[in-house]
Structure 1
Amino acid sequence: MPSKSSVRIAALTVAAVCSTVSAVVLTSPAQAAAVAVHDIQGPTRTSPLAGQQVTDVTGIVTGVRTYGSSRGFWIQDPSADTNPATSEGIFVFTSSTPKVAVGDSVSVAGTVTEFVPGGASSGNQSVTEITKPTVTVVSSGNALPAATVVNSRSVPATYAPVGDTAASGSVNALPLAPKKYALDYYESLEGMNVAIGSSRVVTATDPFSELWVTVKPYENANRRGGTVYGAYSSQNTGRLQIQSLIPTATQPFPTANVGDTLKGTTEGPLDYTQFGGYTLTARTLGTVEAGGLERETTRKQSRSELAVATYNVENLDPTDGSFADHAAAIVDNLQSPDILSLEEIQDNNGAKNDGTVAADRTMQKLVDAIAAAGGPAYAWRSIDPVNLADGGEPGGNIRQVFLYNPARVSFTERAGGDATTAVGVTKVYGKAQLTASPGRIDPANDAWKNSRKPLAGEFVFRGKTVFVIANHFASKGGDQALHSQFQPPARSSETQRHLQAASVNAFVKDILAKQKSANVVTLGDINDFEFSETTKLLEAGGALWSAVKSLPKSERYSYDFQGNSQVLDQILISPSIRKDCEYTYDSVHINSEFNDQISDHDPQVLRFRP
């Protein structure tokens, strides 16, 4: 999948463009009216006054945002109504730097607008705002409205209502039920001054000065401090994103890892953002208490065990400064596996789009770094893709590569494999055999359009043939967020992954049809969960089984996203390995939980005796 930074930068560009055009289209007649904030917010997600002019909207300024494309400030009416569904806070969008301060009592006139962060096509919920405002400061230095405390008791256990089928699944028009649904609860506090107490960090600080905490410390917790995402029906309602309104010169944004604690009180307006949904924009920010999380090291394979691993090295190209770190991870944390499927190896000049597709310089630099780190003299095999045909960062031509230790395993070379020729399976002396090694599976199939084609290869360990298939399925880009206005959210990217899973499953079945006892390992960045339909299609007919499911549920994760520790990287095994070979599985947590990660994925290791 593309790097988080590249996805984020592209999306920020969209957000900047959409900041003036992403409002909900309205047909109600405009008229001026003096109303309270809760009258504007109303008991649903969208304002009953959207599109109308309002005057003399009064409140106390609780936060000021002076950066980015969404400059403005929040006000809160200290005179609350009795309806828990109607928020007392609202954002005033000024576009330029606001001329108010926290504690000012103001009167605002302007247009009520529903702004969708990321644009309407994102599926995100909208934020009720007052735009094109005229602001009058009535007084300054006022006490702020008391913060609403968000904690494990206040957030409901059920994530969201089911959307209105007559409105394509949208929840926008449904009456808010803040005591029943977590998304409704957070929406009922949109724009209001909220606070959390000491809370465990469940996604590390990212390059955009954000982190995630949970206000529910026992909700699907794992031993390393994260919150595990184990089913579509379990969205982990205690997750909350934290950003800061405090100038970095006054208080730098804290650097935190999963398992640390954001200690003390964190308080500020509750916003809704494109990346993460409901976000506490801190006016008062807690401090980090380290949890002492350390990177894991797997055990060394025995002489009789074959160690096969998968590792997404996140757009690695010769200009990167992370080769020594990746080498140390492979040698020390992964204990030099015998065969390693690498995903996101870029070509020799990275994202430069000049037709270059070879990656020999990238791989030689990695192999040399591994040797310098005390590791084996690895060899490698791959197939260069057709330029710009495999998706990923434009110009980067990412592909999968087999890295293997020739002192422990041999690679069976068979000519004929190239970017566009499909590898087949034949039967020779009662054994399955690839027609090309390495070879690509079904590269002309539309399932692999603009996506990485699976790489198949034959290896021999202690006289036994092992078929290895390296994968990097289509990313989740384009899926609606968990916090989407559409509930349940649509996962449109699944369509291609389902086709890809069916293609790989058919190829594995072809191997097993030629040799029922064949040892087949299918691994890589599957970009989907162990409980997903994608995984079920890979496993169809008993051809494969996802070995991460041999771990306790609390240990099943390789990626951390918006407070959820989840499985994206998998190693699947054929029946002969599952039933007849002694095997162990390890998800080696060295990246996803840390703010100084060299990749956003954790590698996976399978050890077995063929």
Structure 2
Amino acid sequence: MPSRSSTRLAALTVAALCSAASAVALTSPAHADSVRIHDIQGTTRISPFAGQKVTDVPGIVTATRTYGSSRGFWIQDPHPDDDPRTSEGIFVFTSSTPKVAVGDSVTVTGTVSEYVPGGTSSGNQSLTEITKPTITTVSTGNAVPAPVVIDEDSVPDEYAPEGDTAANGSINNLTLDPSTYALDYYESLEGMNVQVKNVRVVTATDPYSELWVTAKPWEHRNLRGGTVYGSYDSQNTGRLQIQSLGATADFPKANVGDTLEGTTTGPLDFNQYGGYALVANELGTLKSGGLQRETTRKQSSRELAVATYNVENLDPSDSTFGKHAAAIVNNLQSPDIVSLEEIQDNNGATDDGTVDASVTVNKLIDAIIAAGGPKYDWRSINPVNDQDGGEPGGNIRQVFLFNPERVSFVDRPGGDSTTAVGVTKVDGKAELTVSPGRIDPANAAWKASRKPLAGEFVFRGKTVFVIANHLISKGGDQGLASQYQPPTRSSEIQRHAQATEVNAFVKDILKVQKNANVVALGDMNDFEFSGTAKILEGDGELWSAIKSLPRSERYTYDYQGNEQVLDQILISPAIRRGCDFEYDSVHINAEFNDQISDHDPQVLRFRP
């Protein structure tokens, strides 16, 4: 899944961004008397009173939000109806600091609105609110309605219903079935006081003071404490985001496998960064699970170790060079070849036409030497300015590091940002026409995206072709909690075209030399079970080696409570047939709140 925008300010919480939401198209305002919260929430996602003015809606204040631009408070009816589909809670948007307190009994007059966090183009579900309120305090110091406990028994195993084909796949107007679908269950609790107990952390605390837990202790759990996303039909229904109504400085710094002991309680909200979130006014106590960063084994003298590592927009101004170097030397055991993704140019995000990245790369190489590693050599091709996507001005690209004491690079001049690398036959074997070279850089598949970097290496007299990739991200895809079910994965169109190009290039090599050693690796921005992976693999030209691991160990990234594969190393039949290879996803980043990249590196060891 995509990383968050680097332009998002850490000082803002997700909740504070609700003011950027877009309203659902509403009917002309009317007037409704004597309605209660469950009447407003109704039995679908869209309120039957949307756009209408409601008068003297009663409720007890359960929580207040006093920060950001989405200030307001939640109220809940202490006298619920007997329909499990209708929520008894709702958010009252005041825009300024609310003047009510938890425990106040109030009546609210205002307009019912449906807001879509992130805007209607995001495909997100809407949040039912009362806006432009007039508030009357009836009494103070009342007991807050007891929270609904969310646990493995209450959350259904199916994630979402199929969307209404007559409504472009939207589930907005479908009658809720909270006993069957997890998204319907959460929707039936929207705005209500809810609680989780003794829950395991499945995505570490991020810079915005958010984390994810699971209400289902054994749902696709792995040995390190995470919850693995193994297919499009395995969304993991127990995932729930945790935010806080308190000071962000007090928010726990959790890693995957930690637990929030005791109770975590607050209203159930919906936001653009993941969907349903428990906004806690009471947080459990963090208990460490003791998770440690992994270290792979050292390759033998006869094994070639090839790694891929997304270093997340690395430029000379970053403070992470020493940590990345230590990771490469100690945790990855100094692989012979390292494909680096997201190496930025020499002045990072400054957009002044600079494309050279020699300062960035050499600073990393020097840090590796200082950490006790080898003096790596490197190869890359500078992109055309501002043509490869990523952070504007950064000119990210892939870079080969290689240890010249163990492996040699075959240099063939002529490769540049616009020249396509080809394959030729020399003495019965495949050779690249240029090395390094870029795969068909003028092809529309690579528009505003990184072009694959191909290089020819020699290890113990054997040629190995390595293709470094960074396919287009999942940005723009609808989220798992989208109102459209199943969600549209629009980014696949271009990524599938890119995968087709990579597979075609590998075919060109294998047509010339069917037993060639080919490794295609990098940040593929897609899962090992995805259509992208199937296109890359083709008719057996490649095979994603992460599938050699048990299913519970197949992950390189952790997004919204789902541990998943984005980074892959694919191998040609000559490497796979011998079964003399070993794959390791080295978990040093994705599960930790103090990560230096959002990706875990991958290592393949084999004997060419």
Query: Which TM-score bucket, shorter chain as reference?
Result: over 0.9
2 CA distance for matches of 1:2 and 1:41? 32
Q: Please name the residue that 2:426 is paired with.
A: 428
Cα 1:177–1:567, aligned 2, differ >3 Å: closer, same or farther?
Answer: same
Cα 1:276–1:7, aligned 2, differ >3 Å: closer, same or farther?
Answer: farther
Q: Please name the residue that 2:254 is paired with.
A: 256
Aligned partner of residue 208 in structure 1, secondary structure: coil
How do 1:149-298 residues align onto structure 2 when only pairs under 5 Å count? 149-248=149-248, 252-298=250-296
Whether the 8 Å contact between 1:18 and 1:119 is mirrored in structure 2 is no
Aligned partner of residue 264 in structure 1, secondary structure: strand
Q: Please name the residue that 1:582 is paired with.
A: 580
Deviations 1:519-568 (A, max 9, x none): 00000000000000000000011100000000000000000000000000
Shift in Å, 1:31 = 1.4
Task: Determine which of 376, 381, 384 is the counterpart of 1:383.
Answer: 381
Deviations 1:241-296 (A, max 9, x none): 000112357xx001100000011000010000111100000011101000000000
Shift in Å, 1:14 = 11
Count, aligned residues: 608
1 CA distance for matches of 2:493 and 2:28? 39
How do 1:139-538 residues align onto structure 2 when only pairs under 5 Å count? 139-248=139-248, 252-538=250-536
- Structure 1 alignment gaps of length 5 or more: none
Shift in Å, 1:598 = 0.2
1 CA distance for matches of 2:128 and 2:306? 51
Worse-matched range after superposition: 10-19 or 187-196: 10-19
Deviations 1:33-64 (A, max 9, x none): 22100000000001000000001001000010
2 CA distance for matches of 1:128 and 1:2? 27
1 CA distance for matches of 2:14 and 2:149? 33
Q: Please name the residue that 1:593 is paired with.
A: 591
Q: Which amino acid aligns with 1:440?
A: R
Whether the 8 Å contact between 1:3 and 1:315 is mirrored in structure 2 is no
Whether the 8 Å contact between 1:204 and 1:257 is mirrored in structure 2 is yes
Shift in Å, 1:225 = 0.2
Aligned partner of residue 320 in structure 1, secondary structure: coil
Q: Which amino acid aligns with 1:145?
A: P
Cα 1:308–1:248, aligned 2, differ >3 Å: closer, same or farther?
Answer: closer
1 CA distance for matches of 2:498 and 2:20? 39
Shift in Å, 1:140 = 0.8
Shift in Å, 1:5 = 4.8
Shift in Å, 1:601 = 0.1
Aligned partner of residue 397 in structure 1, secondary structure: coil
Shift in Å, 1:68 = 1.7
2 CA distance for matches of 1:262 and 1:306? 43
Whether the 8 Å contact between 1:2 and 1:393 is mirrored in structure 2 is no
Aligned partner of residue 191 in structure 2, secondary structure: coil
1 CA distance for matches of 2:17 and 2:551? 42
Q: Which amino acid aligns with 2:440?
A: D
How do 1:34-183 residues align onto structure 2 when only pairs under 5 Å count? 34-183=34-183
Structure 2 length as normaliser, TM-score? 0.98
Cα 1:10–1:65, aligned 2, differ >3 Å: closer, same or farther?
Answer: closer
Shift in Å, 1:19 = 2.2
Whether the 8 Å contact between 2:201 and 2:214 is mirrored in structure 1 is yes
Shift in Å, 1:168 = 0.3
Whether the 8 Å contact between 2:325 and 2:368 is mirrored in structure 1 is yes
Shift in Å, 1:302 = 0.1
Shift in Å, 1:26 = 1.1
- Structure 2 alignment gaps of length 5 or more: none
Shift in Å, 1:12 = 7.3
Deviations 1:180-217 (A, max 9, x none): 00000000000000001000000000000000000101
Deviations 1:323-361 (A, max 9, x none): 000000000000000000000000000000000000000
1 CA distance for matches of 2:373 and 2:588? 18
Q: Which amino acid aligns with 1:397?
A: N
Deviations 1:213-255 (A, max 9, x none): 0010110000000000000001000000000112357xx0011
Shift in Å, 1:312 = 0.1
1 CA distance for matches of 2:24 and 2:96? 22
Cα 1:168–1:525, aligned 2, differ >3 Å: closer, same or farther?
Answer: same
Whether the 8 Å contact between 1:11 and 1:118 is mirrored in structure 2 is no
Aligned partner of residue 538 in structure 2, secondary structure: helix
How do 1:22-41 residues align onto structure 2 when only pairs under 5 Å count? 22-41=22-41
Aligned partner of residue 109 in structure 1, secondary structure: strand
Whether the 8 Å contact between 2:10 and 2:208 is mirrored in structure 1 is no
Q: Which amino acid aligns with 2:169?
A: G
Shift in Å, 1:29 = 4.2
Cα 1:467–1:11, aligned 2, differ >3 Å: closer, same or farther?
Answer: farther
Whether the 8 Å contact between 2:15 and 2:70 is mirrored in structure 1 is no
Shift in Å, 1:6 = 1.1
Cα 1:15–1:245, aligned 2, differ >3 Å: closer, same or farther?
Answer: closer
**Runs of 4+ residues over 3 Å off in structure 1:** 7-18
Q: Which amino acid aligns with 1:526?
A: M
Aligned partner of residue 59 in structure 1, secondary structure: strand
For the aligned residues, what is the CA RMSD? 1.5
